[in-house]
Amino acid sequence: MARFTLPRDIYHGKGALEVLKTFEGKRAMICTGGGSMKRGGFLQKVEAYLKEAGMEVELFEGIESDPSVETVMKGAEAMQKFEPDWIVAIGGGSPIDAAKAMWIKYEYPETTFEDMCKVFGLPRLRTKAKFCAISSTSGTATEVTAFSIITDYQKGIKYPIADFEITPDVAIVDPELAHTMPKKLVAHTGMDAMTHAVEAYVSTANCDYTDPLAIHAIEMIMDNLVKSYNEDMDARDAMHNAQCLAGMAFSNALLGIVHSMAHKTGAVFADQGAHIIHGAANAMYLPKVVAFNAKDPVAKKRYGVIADYMHLGGANDDEKVELLIKYLRKMNDDLNIPHSINHYGADGLPAEQGFVPEEVFLERLHDIAANALLDACTGSNPRQPSQEEMEKLLKCCYYDTEVDF
């Protein structure tokens, strides 16, 4: 038996935010990030609509990018005091993910972060509050997914919390929120969405319910991401839907080792002055992982199907895989994303000298690979790498060398 779970309601299209006026409840806590939602005027709208619905409203602001365990605990404490029956999270993946984890701790105050990380091991939520997610970036699709990514900064590791219990009750996918995204954010979040769709399609947990979502998302991202990056706002609107479809696919089909590697490299070099931004990490690693996974015959066939839907040509599956890799790398060029860690600058842009020194990378390689193998996304990857293969793969991602194993 398999399970396919989505939010009960997904409100989409311009003006969808207004649906908040119809919510029923007593108290709503709005969780948000550092200020982009306020600058865009969206936070004020959310607050006004919830008040119009007759609710008392409290704000929990300042959730940082790649949210920490500490922030989650602080937010949960605020919830325990205010006792909301609605949690409304607005912003990018970071504030929404943090709010999901706060929700768990609010419902079960005795829960530890370790408890939360037991895959599909959460107790029943919704005994205190329902959850509404409003996404402002076009990538993570956390508004429809069963995931939340929290960083343990003491370990320098991102941990995915995975359980259908944290799939939101309501998702609001209003493209107007995405219009204020700076170009670099469009690029990174868009390639995150592309990675979600491709990994979901070749995942060992793919099924008839997830395949059409993944394929349609890939087609839409191919048609719209670069245009959206170049400020075409119709394409930007389409990307907001495309990333959500990709999310519906991967929330149910799971992901693969591109994400395992992105989770374990994201914060591990923070002491060198920067993070490897999630979407950029995915964009760099995806072509390498396609080459690695294509040694598995079923995965190779599925990449061939993706290439066919993308009209890339190719006389056989080997050629199709090659063309797919070439196309993904071209997207990175068009979006000004580097191809490898050694050229990843502290600002996320291509640089002659990346911010991760070679000796630091090599010194940490063994542990990063070991942690990536243990990541919750590794189990559904179509080809299971050994420790040695994972290290080799990460080296290819550092030096931009060919994957021939």
Binding site for ligand NAD (CB under 6 A): 33-34, 36, 65-66, 91-94, 97, 136-137, 139-140, 142, 145, 147-149, 158, 177-178, 180-181, 185, 189, 192, 278-279
Q: Report the residue number, 36 or 189, with the smaller CB distance to Fe ion.
A: 189
| Closer of 71 and 206 to ligand NAD (Cβ) | 71
Residue 165 or 192: the one with the smaller Cβ distance to ligand NAD is 192
* Closest separation in Å from C-beta 36 to ligand NAD: 3
> What is the Rg, in whole angstroms, of the alpha carbon atoms belonging to the chain?
20
CB of 190 to Fe ion, least distance (A): 11
> Residue 18 or 85: which CB sits closer to ligand NAD?
18
Do 146 and 166 meet the contact criterion of CB atoms below 8 Å apart?
yes
Q: Which partner from the list ligand NAD, Fe ion, none does 174 bind, CB cut-off 5 to 8 Å by kind?
A: none
Distance, in Å, from the CA atom of 142 to the CA atom of 89, rounded to the nearest integer, reads 10
Minimum CB distance to ligand NAD smaller for 189 or for 332: 189
Task: State in angstroms the smallest separation of the CB of 47 from ligand NAD.
Answer: 17
Instruction: Let me know: does 116 contact 123? Beta carbons within 8 Å.
Output: no
Nearest CA to 143 among 111, 122, 165, 170?
A: 170
Cβ at position 397, least distance to ligand NAD in Å: 17
Structure-block tokens of residue 32 = 């948000």
Residue 141 CB, nearest approach to ligand NAD (Å): 6
CA distances from 164 to 120, 124, 134 (A): 7, 10, 18
Residue 339 C-beta: closest distance to ligand NAD, Å = 20
Runs of H (alpha helix) within 17-146: 36-39, 42-52, 69-82, 93-107, 113-116
Helix (H) or strand (E) holding 90: strand 86-91
- Shortest spacing between CB 150 and ligand NAD, in angstroms: 8
Of 141-170, which residues contact Fe ion (CB under 5 A)?
none
* Packed helices 211-229 and 297-309: angle between N→C axes, nearest 10 degrees: 50
Q: Which does 348 bind (CB under 5 to 8 A by kind): Fe ion, ligand NAD, none?
A: none
Phi and psi torsions of 131, nearest 5°: -125, 130
Q: Which residue is nearest to ligand NAD (CB)?
A: 92
Query: Which does residue 16 touch among ligand NAD, Fe ion, none (CB within 5 to 8 A, set by kind)?
Result: none
In the complex with Fe ion, the residue whose CB is nearer, 149 or 321, is 149
Query: 371 or 403, CB closer to ligand NAD?
Result: 371
In angstroms, rounded to a whole number, what is the distance separating the alpha carbons of residues 209 and 108? 32
In the complex, minimum distance from the CB of residue 171 to ligand NAD, in angstroms, rounded to a whole number: 12
Which does residue 147 bind out of Fe ion, ligand NAD, none, counting CB within 5 to 8 angstroms by kind? ligand NAD
Partner interacting with residue 66 (select from Fe ion, ligand NAD, none; CB below 5-8 Å by kind) = ligand NAD
Which ranges in 91-139 belong to alpha helices (H)? 93-107, 113-116
Pairing of strands 86-91, 130-135: parallel
CB of 157 to ligand NAD, least distance (A): 12
| Binding of residue 375 to Fe ion (CB under 5 A) | no
Asked if residue 317 lies in contact with residue 300, where contact means CB atoms within 8 angstroms, the answer is yes
Q: Which x/- pattern over 185-224 shows residues binding Fe ion (rule: CB under 5 A)?
A: -------x--------------------------------
Q: Are 16 and 172 in contact (CB under 8 A)?
A: yes
Which residue number, 31 or 181, has a Cβ lying nearer to ligand NAD? 181
- For residues 274 and 92, what is the distance between their CA atoms, to the nearest angstrom? 19
Task: Rank residues 149 and 403 by Cβ distance to ligand NAD and give the closer one.
Answer: 149
Torsion sign (Cα): 39, 43, 47, 48: positive
Helix (H) or strand (E) holding 30: strand 27-31
Two structure tokens written together for 35: 């200020």
Residues that bind Fe ion (CB under 5 A): 192
